[in-house]
């Protein structure tokens, strides 16, 4: 197994475990066991758990933003498509809320690399929403709707929070907010 494959296996294991069980609940030995990567190589690729957590969040950001970008790119109405995409995500059986807010909730402002990854994700989401409207204020409001729906869905699983946020977004677009 080369370093690229080892890195992928470690990140796959970290993503599954951190998202399902929480960052603090999962130790490096568990990542090693689940990935099948020797402990020595794990620590060569990720010298500290903070580095693994930051890499997991960076990869998740690229996938998550990429998936949302694809969903809105082909949509006739891109703003409602954001919330339709969120509704599908919220309906997934393993949905556990926003990995970035979960990481921030567990680790706070502690590890700088992790905090940077969380902030970058939120900035990436705001930037994507900004491409859907000419109004920076509306993009900010859409961000608040998307983030709020995600938090509510983490507590009450299912698509409903995204559908309500979609309705609110449509009102904002119509000028009835």
Q: Do domains 1-47 and 49-174 have the same CATH topology?
A: no
- Give the torsion sign (CA, 55, 59, 64, 66): positive
What is the residue extent of each domain of the chain? 1-47, 49-174
The predicted pLDDT at position 110 comes to: 83
- Give the torsion sign (CA, 148, 150, 156, 162): positive
Is a pLDDT exceeding 90 seen at residue 157?
no
What pTM value is reported for the model? 0.92
The predicted pLDDT at position 145 comes to: 98
Q: How confident is the model at residue 94 (pLDDT cuts 50, 70, 90)?
A: very high
Q: How confident is the model at residue 154 (pLDDT cuts 50, 70, 90)?
A: very high
Average pLDDT over residues 116-141: 96
Query: Residues 145, 177: contact at Cβ < 8 Å?
Result: no
DSSP 8-state secondary structure symbol assigned to residue 74: T
In the CATH scheme, what is the code of domain 49-174?
A: 1.10.357.10
Q: How confident is the model at residue 106 (pLDDT cuts 50, 70, 90)?
A: very high
Contacts of residue 107, Cβ cutoff 8 Å, sequence gap at least 6: 23, 24, 53, 114, 115
The predicted pLDDT at position 38 comes to: 96
Query: Residues 97, 153: contact at Cβ < 8 Å?
Result: yes
Is a pLDDT exceeding 70 seen at residue 176?
no
Q: Topology of domain 1-47, per CATH?
A: Arc Repressor Mutant, subunit A (1.10.10)
């Amino acid at each position: 197994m080369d370093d690229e494959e080892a890195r992928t296996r470690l990140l796959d294991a970290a993503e599954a475990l951190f998202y399902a069980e929480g960052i603090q609940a999962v130790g490096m030995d568990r990542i090693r066991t689940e990935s099948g990567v020797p402990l020595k190589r794990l620590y060569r690729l990720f010298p500290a758990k903070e580095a693994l957590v930051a890499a997991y969040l960076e990869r998740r950001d690229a996938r998550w933003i990429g998936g949302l970008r694809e969903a809105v790119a082909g949509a006739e109405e891109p703003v409602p498509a954001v919330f339709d995409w969120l509704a599908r995500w919220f309906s997934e059986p393993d949905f556990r809320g926003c990995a970035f807010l979960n990481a921030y909730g567990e680790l706070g402002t502690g590890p700088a690399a992790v905090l940077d990854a969380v902030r970058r994700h939120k900035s990436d989401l705001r930037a994507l929403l900004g491409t859907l409207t000419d109004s920076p204020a509306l993009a900010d409001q859409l961000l608040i709707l998307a983030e709020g729906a995600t938090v509510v869905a983490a507590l009450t699983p299912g698509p409903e929070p995204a559908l309500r946020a979609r309705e609110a977004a449509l009102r904002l677009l119509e000028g009835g907010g």
